[in-house]
């Protein structure tokens, strides 16, 4: 039997993860209700979602769109309260009207609201990689102090979460404490649309090619990160913080079909894997209902149809973003924040056709060399490193 109705604040409602979340929620009206929806600036799409799900509040991150949101809600005769700006996102994340926060804002813009949700003791479904990369130690400390339940909902870390023996018993879900029985965590990567390509061939890649992922439907920024393997590099840093394992115990293997989403290797020789369709609704259903299982609308795997499971080593020479992420993790301090910020600048420039595809890792590496890793104990330290890395990366671009 389902418990009390869970009230959800969905950050990034107009993105692909937002759409998947709302699909799962709509299948279980007796379990879930939407308390808040946020978007960056897509007012028309946000209002349409408000008309369907009737949230208490809706917010745009860009304050310039506040009047448009307020007026559109009024014109649609919706009682939803309009809010805007970064402070509004933090307020919604900490608000007692909701108990579950889906953190699906892309980029460093999602860090403050994610930390606020953790501090407030929410069930936190985490899709914002940057919150962990930029402020992993701080986030896990807030999870522990606030008594929050953190369930990662990107497919790889959700798979690890499901394969760890303590996933169903830890009060905080994904745990900071190292697991002594775990020999290594193995993250799978599809290899993206350019698996097997040489550096010479990669030189002419276009944004359209980079955004055409063979398995997953994702936003443009995440699609480019997947194509460059930076997405996997960020996931390595995430795994370190979420599961308390060092970089020497994290491995990446290329698995083109994305059938196995990740694996946990145990000291007794056992290896547990989580398999499923490449559909984010599975991980969102796990996050929303854990420790229960609910229908997510995802078709079962046809194992006979799949036939075989292939694996290969990643090509760090053709895709240097992955080795750069391991380097940033080993350096620690401000290095992951610098890596992430430089990558955001580089990907944006690539999508604007101001930078070649191979220019992405080159710009990141140059930025990291300009800004040696410094100790960074507070969020302000991390945000300062983020801002300085953006300044340096933009200067190198210019």
Token representation of residue 258: 């994305």
Closest CA to 228 of 319, 345, 116: 319
Residue 142 is predicted with a pLDDT of 94
Residue 96 scores a pLDDT above 50: yes
Query: What is the C-alpha separation between 228 and 325, in angstroms, rounded?
Result: 12
Structure tokens at 119: 């501090």
6-174 folds as: Rossmann fold (3.40.50)
Of the chain, the percentage scoring pLDDT greater than 90 comes to 83
Could you report the per-residue pLDDT of 293-347, keeping only the tens digit for each? 999 999 999 999 999 999 999 999 999 999 999 999 999 999 999 999 999 999 9
| pLDDT for residue 220 | 86
* Helices 280-289, 16-27: inter-axial angle, 10-degree rounding: 60
pLDDT band at 230 (very low <50, low <70, confident <90, very high): very high
On the question of pLDDT at 227 being above 60, the answer is yes
Cβ pair 99, 122 in contact under 8 A: yes
CA-nearest of 189, 104, 130, 197 to 339 is: 130
User: What percent helix, strand, coil does the chain show, rounded to 5?
Assistant: 50, 15, 35
Q: How far apart (Å, rounded) are the C-alpha atoms in residues 54 and 49?
A: 8
Q: How far apart are CA 279 and CA 205, in angstroms?
A: 26
Span 9-27, average pLDDT: 96
Check whether 165 has a pLDDT greater than 90: no
pLDDT computed for residue 134 by the predictor: 86
Q: What is the pLDDT of residue 217?
A: 62
Q: How far is residue 232's CA from residue 235's CA, in Å, rounded to a whole number? A: 5
Which whole number is the average pLDDT over 9-26? 96
Question: If you search the block for the tokens 């208490």, which residue do you land on?
Answer: 56
Cβ atoms of 268 and 321 closer than 8 Å? no
Nearest one of 254, 259, 252 to 307, comparing CA atoms: 259
Q: What tokens does 274 get?
A: 């989580």
What element of type H or E holds 34?
strand 32-39
Q: Please name the residues in contact with 35: beta carbons below 8 A apart, sequence gap of 6 or more.
A: 7, 8, 9, 55, 56, 57, 95, 97, 98
- pLDDT tens digits, residue range 176-189? 446 789 999 999 99
Answer whether residue 394 shows pLDDT above 50: yes
The answer for residues whose C-beta is within 8 angstroms of residue 147's C-beta and 6 or more apart is: 121, 171, 172
Phi, psi (degrees; rounded to nearest 5) at 339: -55, -50
What mean pLDDT is predicted for residues 119-124?
97
By the 8 A CB rule, do 339 and 133 touch?
Answer: yes
Residues 377-387: pLDDT tens digits? 888 999 899 99
* Residue pLDDT, tens place only, 345-370: 999 999 999 999 999 999 999 999 99
pLDDT at residue 176, as a whole number: 42
Rounded mean pLDDT, 181-201: 94
Q: Which of 162-176, 192-206, 250-264, 269-283 has the lowest mean pLDDT?
A: 162-176
Strand order in the sheet with 57-60: 81-84, 57-60, 32-39, 6-11, 100-103, 123-126, 149-152
Residue 250 has a CB neighbour count (10 Å cut-off) of 20
Residues in contact with 172: Cβ distance below 8 Å, sequence separation at least 6, in sequence order:
143, 144, 147, 148, 149, 150
Mean pLDDT, residues 254-271: 95
Question: Roughly how many angstroms between the first and final C-alpha of the chain, as a whole number?
Answer: 59
Per-residue b or e along 111-140, where b marks 16 or more CB atoms closer than 10 Å to that residue's CB: bbbbbbbbbbbbbbbbbbbbbbbbbbebbb
Nearest-10 Cα torsion for 371, 376, 378, 381: -20
How many Å apart are CA 39 and CA 62, to the nearest integer? 9
Alpha-carbon separation of residue 100 from 124, 155, 378 (angstroms): 6, 19, 26
The mean predicted confidence, pLDDT, of the chain is: 92
Residue 174 confidence (pLDDT): 52
What is residue 218's predicted lDDT score, i.e. its pLDDT? Answer: 67
Taking only the tens place, the pLDDT of each residue in 31-83 is 999 999 999 999 999 999 999 999 999 999 999 999 999 999 999 999 999 99
Question: Is the pLDDT confidence value at 10 over 80?
Answer: yes
Task: Pick 136 or 217 by higher pLDDT.
Answer: 136
Q: Is the pLDDT of residue 173 over 60?
A: no
* Domain assignments of the chain as residue spans, ordered by start: 6-174
- pLDDT tens digits, residue range 128-158? 887 899 889 999 999 999 999 999 999 999 9
């Amino acid at each position: 039997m389902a418990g009390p109705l869970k009230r959800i604040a969905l950050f990034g409602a107009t993105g692909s993860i937002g759409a998947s979340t709302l699909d799962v929620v709509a299948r279980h009206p007796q379990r879930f209700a939407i308390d808040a929806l946020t978007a960056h600036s897509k007012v028309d799409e946000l209002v349409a979602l408000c008309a369907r799900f009737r949230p208490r509040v809706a917010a745009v991150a860009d304050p310039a769109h506040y009047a448009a949101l307020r007026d559109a809600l009024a014109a649609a005769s919706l009682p939803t309260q309009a809010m805007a700006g970064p402070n509004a996102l933090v307020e919604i994340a900490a608000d007692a009207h909701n108990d579950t926060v889906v953190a699906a804002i892309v980029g460093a813009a999602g860090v403050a609201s994610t930390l606020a949700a953790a501090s407030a003791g929410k069930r936190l479904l985490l899709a914002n990689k940057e919150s962990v990369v930029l402020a992993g130690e701080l986030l896990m400390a807030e999870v522990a102090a606030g008594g929050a339940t953190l369930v990662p909902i990107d497919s790889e870390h959700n798979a690890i979460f499901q394969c760890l023996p303590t996933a169903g018993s830890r009060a905080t879900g994904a745990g900071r404490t190292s697991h002594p029985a775990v020999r290594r965590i193995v993250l799978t990567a599809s290899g993206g649309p350019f698996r097997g390509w040489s550096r010479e061939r990669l030189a002419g890649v276009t944004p359209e090619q980079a955004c055409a992922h063979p398995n997953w439907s994702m936003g443009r920024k995440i699609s480019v990160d997947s194509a460059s393997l930076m997405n996997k590099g960020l996931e390595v840093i995430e795994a370190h913080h979420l599961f308390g394992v060092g970089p020497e115990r994290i491995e990446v293997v290329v698995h083109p079909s994305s059938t196995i989403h990740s694996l946990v290797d145990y000291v007794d020789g056992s290896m547990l894997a989580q398999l499923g369709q490449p559909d984010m609704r599975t991980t969102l259903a796990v996050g929303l209902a854990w420790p229960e299982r609910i229908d997510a609308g995802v078709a079962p795997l046809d194992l006979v149809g799949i036939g075989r499971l292939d694996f290969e080593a990643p090509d760090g020479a053709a895709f240097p973003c992955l080795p750069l992420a391991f380097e940033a993790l080993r350096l620690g301090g401000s290095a992951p924040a610098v890596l992430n910020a430089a990558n955001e600048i580089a990907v944006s420039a690539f999508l604007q056709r101001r930078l070649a595809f191979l220019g992405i890792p080159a710009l990141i590496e140059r930025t990291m060399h300009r800004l040696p890793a410094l100790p960074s104990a507070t969020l302000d330290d991390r945000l300062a490193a983020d801002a300085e890395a953006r300044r340096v990366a933009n200067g190198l671009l210019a």
